[in-house]
Structure 1
Amino acid sequence: MRAIVFANGEIRDLQGAKELINPGDILIAADGGARFCREMDLIPDILIGDLDSVSKKDEDYFQKAGTKILKFEPRKDETDLELALLHSLSLEIEQIIILGGLGRRWDHSLANLLLPALPALDSLNISFWEEGQWIYLIRNEIEIKADRGSTLSLIPLGGDAEGVNTKGLEWPLIDETLVFGATRGLSNKVLQEKVSIKIKKGKLLCVYGAKD
């Protein structure tokens, strides 16, 4: 099962975001991410958070429309997005696409990008989307359907990524180590419609679709 999670960042391409949604997807609004549901004329299945960024009018609107509302106290240890991801574990969800995960608040953007590395979320396949760009967390291996000539970058997360192997890229990596903090994995080029990436140890953030 797949979920679309709306975070309270920015979505510049609302139409492109809406086209990602498939029938049967679970729609989860993390607090202020509910505004994107209103703008796209969508009714989320779940609205979760302390709701400090949701007007009483919108809260009532979604509740009457059948949205399940999970309201938390403002003084809490988790962000609303983290609450949304943790709650998804109880819904037998396997894949999550986060929309609005990045924005003007660098602290929130960085924290959001690190959330998929939370051990409690290891069972979830989590990705971010914004204006045609994707960000994936790779724990072991991934295969991506890609456009030839597009850009793909690999960024070590939390330490070195060891035993990195790639196929379908202009500059292949063969059992190599990408050092945490170094930029060697940036701006590779896609040669084939399917790109495979495997690692033996560590974690990688894969950024695909960036424009030069």
Structure 2
Amino acid sequence: MIINILAGGPEDHLPDLYQYTETDAIWVGVDRGVYHLLKKNIKPEIAFGDFDSVSQNELSFIESQVAELKRYQPIKDETDTELALNWALEQKPKTIRLFGATGGRIDHLFANVQLLFNPLKSGQDADILLIDRYNEIFLKAPGMYKIKKQAKKKYISFVPLTLDITDLTLTGFKYPLKNRHISLGSTLCISNELVSDCGTFSFSEGILIVIRSHD
């Protein structure tokens, strides 16, 4: 099962959502993201938010279209996006895609990137991808992983989320590495590229942010 979540970030940062409408995909709307989905004739199965970013007319439209609406007070401990993501994780999907979570306010961006850490903390194996028009972002715990070349997102960057990344090894890349120690704040692994159709990356300690991008 795949769960697609559309948060309320700027529309001009969104990719083409229609390419993610597989038959086994469930759509979830968050705050103004619900309205964006409905405008595209994509009906979410459930919606979350305090809906302080929509007009009364837009809210009425949302209420008439969405069967399950989880509405919250603006003052709460979790963001609307976190509430939606927590629900998604409870469904135990294979993949969660998070759209509309970049652009606009930078505090929202940092918060949403950190939300990708939640399944790692709880030991869940769901892949969470933060996707916008130019980037695909995900986190990885220690291990070895395969990564395939994508023509549309040729740049691959590896950014430490924790203080240290130990034994980082990259194979099949334009700039390979072997057992390198990377500290928080390093830009050593920015804008690498695959030279093979498939490469690998591995490390033994830390949490790594992986970013696939295009200009």
**Corresponding residue for 2:33?**
33
**Corresponding residue for 2:132?**
130
Shift of 1:98: 0.9
Query: Which secondary structure does the structure 2 equivalent of 1:155 belong to?
Result: strand
Query: Which secondary structure does the structure 2 equivalent of 1:77 belong to?
Result: coil
Write the distance in 1 (CA, Å) between the matches of 2:13 and 2:193: 24
Give TM-score scaled by structure 2 length. 0.88
**Corresponding residue for 1:105?**
105
* Aligned-residue RMSD, C-alpha: 2.2
Shift of 1:40: 1.7
Asked if the contact 1:86–1:121 (Cα under 8 Å) also holds between the matched residues in 2, the reply is no
Write the distance in 2 (CA, Å) between the matches of 1:208 and 1:74: 33
Structure 1 unaligned spans of 5+ = none
Query: Where in structure 2 are the equivalents of 1:21-100 lying within 5 Å?
Result: 21-100=21-100
- Please, which of 142, 145, 148 is the counterpart of residue 148 of structure 2? 145
| Offset from partner CA, 1:84-129 (integer Å, 9 cap, x none) | 1111122122311111110120111111111112324854311111
Asked if the contact 2:168–2:204 (Cα under 8 Å) also holds between the matched residues in 1, the reply is yes
Query: Which secondary structure does the structure 1 equivalent of 2:16 belong to?
Result: helix
Shift of 1:205: 0.9
Query: Which secondary structure does the structure 2 equivalent of 1:74 belong to?
Result: coil
Query: Which secondary structure does the structure 2 equivalent of 1:181 belong to?
Result: coil
Query: Which secondary structure does the structure 1 equivalent of 2:206 belong to?
Result: coil
Write the distance in 2 (CA, Å) between the matches of 1:67 and 1:162: 48
**Corresponding residue for 2:213?**
209
Q: Match for 1:184: what amino acid? A: L
**Corresponding residue for 1:181?**
185
Percent identity over paired residues: 25
Asked if the contact 1:152–1:210 (Cα under 8 Å) also holds between the matched residues in 2, the reply is no
**Corresponding residue for 1:196?**
200
1:162 aligned onto 2:169: no
Asked if the contact 2:15–2:133 (Cα under 8 Å) also holds between the matched residues in 1, the reply is no
Could you say if the C-alpha distance between residues 53 and 123 of structure 1 is closer, same or farther in structure 2, counting changes exceeding 3 Å? farther
Shift of 1:81: 0.7
Number of aligned positions between the proteins: 211
